[in-house]
Amino acid sequence: MTDTTKKPVEKLDALILGAGFAGLAMLHKMQNKLGMKARVLDKAGGVGGTWYWNRYPGARSDTESWVYCYSFDPALYREWKWTERYPRQAEILAYLEHVADRFDLRRNIRLNALVTSAHWNERSQRWDIETSDGDRFAARYFITGLGLLSAANKPLFPGEETFRGRVLHTGNWPTTPVDFTGKRVGVIGNGSTGVQVVVETSKVAGHLVLFQRTPQYSVPARNHPVDPAFLDGIADNLEAYFDRVRRSATVFAFEEARQGAMEVSADEREAVYEKAWQDGGGFNFMFGTFSDIATNRESNATAADFIRRKIAAVISDPEKREIMTPTDLYARRPLCDNHFYEAIDRENVSVVDVRKAPIVGFTENGIRTADGEIALDYVIFATGFDAVTGNFVRIDIRGRDGLKLRDHWAQGPRAFLGLSAAGFPNMFSLYGPPGPFTNQPPAIEWQAEWVSEAIRYMEEHGLSTMEATREAEQGWLDECIRIEAMTLFGKLDWWVSGANIPGKAKAVSFYMGGFGAYMKHAEACAENGYSGYALAGAQAAAAE
Ligand code: NAP
């Protein structure tokens, strides 16, 4: 019997989750290139993904603007003029809004639409997808562009409800600006986000307290205005330029180093680090100086020592300096900043080492640590994300035979090329795990093109399903594990392994072999008729 209380089902060729860099690129491919009936759903009130939510003070990309964008359309590249080396959140958001308008994407984007479930329907060979408002869709292809860093991680501290001030999370920032002028502001966390918040907020706050657990290695960003002629020069040679960028490991614009740090004399090493320090950029410092900083402990120690000496030269107060000086490996995502240590050095900034004086909880007036109460008007959580899998497991995604993605990934994410989990036919995850660890927009648009070509192949060959085999999925995971073991990234507890979330299984979540090598894997798969995938004919769908 038909359930008349339910909304009618909208049939689609493709349903795409998320209106960030991934979702917009994918919608463009489906709608404008393949001419398919596709729709993007996003729980946000606007397009932009990460850049919609992360509006905190100081938010900007730490990748150069001229490669933090799409390259698929030369006219788009030529007409959009980035103003700074590192684009501000508002500028990136404006860019994505412009893309949505320019390619007429908005007519197929539905906002404020929270997808709660996506179930593979064996009979119809479609994905049955529902939102929290009861909207229903049946789509042949289910494509996620969920972002690896968007499910906010907000640790629970007792007594928050008694706090008379305001609590904010950087990943869920209000759309109306917050004025911290003259206020007492606490910031918990000093990752890429916390560093930006501290720099910007310390300029106006009456007093800012950074609650820090693990000190970071951060290098100067050296932001500067961009000459439009420089952007035109790239536009003149767009395809070749981006092909070179993508064939690198990190998908940045700088030249990656080929020589190991221990292959040169101490003086030469110092000169290379000093130059990178002056040039600015976190990835540049880690991957543009020497080839083995992220793989060789001895080399890593030389970079860490250099940064420690720079920190010591900036922070004048001995107690602050000691708290801010990292002692472990330089093997988290490399940070860069617009004068972070100078901000810490300010008189209106103090630092609490929460490893020595843990946060006990909130009080009416502020935060109590083991050392006493600190009065605050605002507490900003810059505590990051339930990264990588967080957004996926919040949705009830079920593949063949009711297989739940959250069960399939209970011990960590597994998916061939980071795109396709076995048992989840016709589902593709752009920048999904375990996938490349790179500057994202150029990598994402390349994957969107790859997926659209796979879909074109299916359509042209009258196929109904395309599904990664268990062997391919396992083989890919083994390769990711093998490569990660050669790096130092897995040696520390941070979000790449899930270690930042209490109780979450530690896992290998990335392919650390570089995007150039990743492309070769994905290209070989396509050239060999999508080897690693089981492709099935259209009988079942036709019988519907
Ligand atoms: P994050 O790197 O995970 O940093 C979270 C911070 O919160 C860490 O300092 C962490 O300390 C601290 N923290 C977490 N739980 C805590 C607790 N219970 N008590 C005290 N401190 C706690 O998160 P993020 O800074 O938001 O950055 C995540 C990623 O987003 C980055 O790695 C980057 O990929 C991306 N991002 C990029 C940019 C950019 O392009 N500039 C900006 C922002 C974010 P521990 O280190 O001790 O765990």
Neighbour-count burial of 203, counting CB atoms closer than 10 A to its CB (0-12 exposed, 13-18 middle, 19+ buried): middle
Distance, CA of 323 to CA of 198 (rounded, Å): 15
pLDDT per position as a tens digit, 314-332: 999 999 999 999 999 999 9
- pLDDT (0 to 100) of residue 2: 58
**Contact assessment for residue 330 and residue 293, using Cβ atoms and an 8 Å cutoff:** yes
Strand-pairing partners, residue 141, are 14
Distance, CA of 40 to CA of 105 (rounded, Å): 9
Determine which residue's CA is closest to atom 17 belonging to ligand 1.
Answer: 155
- CA angle 55/57/63 to nearest 5° reads 75
pLDDT per position as a tens digit, 339-388: 999 999 999 999 999 999 999 999 999 999 999 999 999 999 999 999 89
Distance, CA of 297 to CA of 529 (rounded, Å): 41
pLDDT-based confidence at 3, cuts 50/70/90?
low
Distance, CA of 430 to CA of 28 (rounded, Å): 14
Q: Average of pLDDT values for 156-185?
A: 97
The closest of 304, 326, 331, 302 to 315, measured between CA atoms, is 326
**Contact assessment for residue 287 and residue 256, using Cβ atoms and an 8 Å cutoff:** yes
Cis peptide before 434 (omega within 30 of 0): yes
SS3 12: strand
Whole-number Å distance, alpha carbon 476 to ligand 1 midpoint, is 28
Q: How many other β-carbons are positioned within 10 Å of the β-carbon of residue 385?
A: 23
Determine which residue's CA is closest to atom 6 belonging to ligand 1.
Answer: 189
Out of 153, 154, 193, give the residue to mutate to test ligand 1, the one with the largest number of ligand atoms within 8 Å of its CB.
193
Distance, CA of 396 to CA of 393 (rounded, Å): 7
The closest of 148, 133, 132, 118 to 14, measured between CA atoms, is 118
Q: Average of pLDDT values for 528-539?
A: 89
pLDDT per position as a tens digit, 380-418: 999 999 989 989 999 999 999 999 999 999 999 999 999
Q: Which residue has the tokens 């069960």?
A: 407
Structure-token pair, residue 132: 């929290």
Determine which residue's CA is closest to atom 40 belonging to ligand 1.
Answer: 61
- pLDDT (0 to 100) of residue 539: 47
Neighbour-count burial of 213, counting CB atoms closer than 10 A to its CB (0-12 exposed, 13-18 middle, 19+ buried): middle
DSSP secondary-structure letter at 8? P
- pLDDT (0 to 100) of residue 5: 83
CB-ligand 1 contact for 214 (6 Å cutoff): yes
Cβ contacts of 105-110, under 8 Å, gap ≥ 24:
105/24, 105/27, 105/28, 105/31, 105/40, 106/47, 108/27, 108/31, 108/38, 108/39, 108/40, 109/19, 109/27, 109/39, 109/40, 109/41, 109/42, 109/47, 110/39, 110/40, 110/41, 110/42, 110/135
- pLDDT (0 to 100) of residue 150: 85
Determine which residue's CA is closest to atom 24 belonging to ligand 1.
Answer: 384
Whole-number Å distance, alpha carbon 230 to ligand 1 midpoint, is 33
Amino acid 143 reads I
| Residue 169 neighbours by CB under 8 Å, 6+ apart | 152, 154, 380, 381, 383
CB-ligand 1 contact for 150 (6 Å cutoff): no
Strand-pairing partners, residue 510, are 435
Whole-number Å distance, alpha carbon 153 to ligand 1 midpoint, is 9
Determine which residue's CA is closest to atom 33 belonging to ligand 1.
Answer: 192
Whole-number Å distance, alpha carbon 83 to ligand 1 midpoint, is 27
Distance, CA of 532 to CA of 526 (rounded, Å): 9
pLDDT-based confidence at 538, cuts 50/70/90?
low
116 phi, psi to nearest 5 deg: -105, -30
| Residue 154 neighbours by CB under 8 Å, 6+ apart | 169, 381, 383
**Contact assessment for residue 370 and residue 341, using Cβ atoms and an 8 Å cutoff:** no
Out of 148, 213, 385, 437, give the residue to mutate to test ligand 1, the one with the largest number of ligand atoms within 8 Å of its CB.
213
Whole-number Å distance, alpha carbon 161 to ligand 1 midpoint, is 24
Structure-token pair, residue 36: 């398919």
Concatenated DSSP letters for 156-180?
--TTGGG-SSEEEEGGG--SS----
CB-ligand 1 contact for 355 (6 Å cutoff): no
- Share the mean pLDDT of the chain: 96
For residue 540, pLDDT over 70 is answered with no
- pLDDT (0 to 100) of residue 226: 98
Q: Average of pLDDT values for 503-513?
A: 94
Share of the chain above pLDDT 70, in %: 98
pLDDT per position as a tens digit, 239-283: 999 999 999 999 999 999 999 999 999 999 999 999 999 999 999
- CA angle 301/305/308 to nearest 5° reads 135
Q: Could you tell me where the beta strands, DSSP code E, fall in 296-376?
A: 335-337, 349-353, 359-362, 366-369, 372-375
Whole-number Å distance, alpha carbon 385 to ligand 1 midpoint, is 7
The closest of 71, 512, 150, 504 to 331, measured between CA atoms, is 512
Whole-number Å distance, alpha carbon 194 to ligand 1 midpoint, is 7
CB-ligand 1 contact for 154 (6 Å cutoff): no
pLDDT per position as a tens digit, 21-60: 999 999 999 999 999 999 999 999 999 999 999 999 999 9
Q: Average of pLDDT values for 488-511?
A: 92
Q: Average of pLDDT values for 417-437?
A: 97
Residue 54 CA: which ligand 1 atom is closest? 43
For residue 84, pLDDT over 90 is answered with yes
For residue 478, pLDDT over 60 is answered with yes
CB-ligand 1 contact for 58 (6 Å cutoff): no
CB-ligand 1 contact for 106 (6 Å cutoff): no
Element (H, E) at 271: helix 266-279
Determine which residue's CA is closest to atom 20 belonging to ligand 1.
Answer: 213
